Amino acid sequence: MTQIPSDLYYTKNHEWLRLKGKQATIGITDHAQHELTDIVFVELPKVGKELKVGDILGVVESVKSAAEIYAPISGKVIEVNKVLEESPEIVNKNPYGNGWIAVIEILDEREIKKLISADDYKNQISEEA
């Protein structure tokens, strides 16, 4: 059963976002890591990179495919999860915990309203199935 924490925001592209003040931690959902299977590489964004909603934040590669990670919100990358460079499989084991990808300083908080709730995300993935 796919985990979908109710305290996060989601995108239709299977990214999640955790808000903490003006910062957003971003990763890929449990559903996304299940679809990708064994993750073998994560391309992290550069700290300081400015992103707009929909820009490519990074890439996750698995044994069967690669998937781009899109910025769910505009802002500047202030931190990346360097542990994933040596241990990308953490995304499979704990996508909502220590498998996070990056932290962004939010540029426009109004963009949060365009993200989807846990319930809406749950409905989306059940429709995709």
Distance separating alpha carbons of residues 40 and 23, to the nearest angstrom = 27
In this structure, are residues 27 and 45 in contact, taking their beta carbons and an 8 Å threshold?
A: no
- DSSP character for 88? T
Q: Could you say which of 1.10.10.10, 3.40.50.970, 3.40.50.300, 2.40.50.100 is the CATH number of the domain covering 9-113? A: 2.40.50.100
Q: Where are the domains of the chain?
A: 9-113
Its pTM stands at 0.95
CB within 8 A of 89, min separation 6: which ones? 38, 39, 40
pLDDT in tens, the chain (129 residues): 688 999 999 999 999 999 999 999 999 999 999 999 999 999 999 999 999 999 999 999 999 999 999 999 999 999 999 999 999 999 999 999 999 999 999 999 999 999 999 999 999 999 988
Predicted pLDDT at 128: 86
**Residue 98: what residue type?**
N
Predicted pLDDT at 124: 96
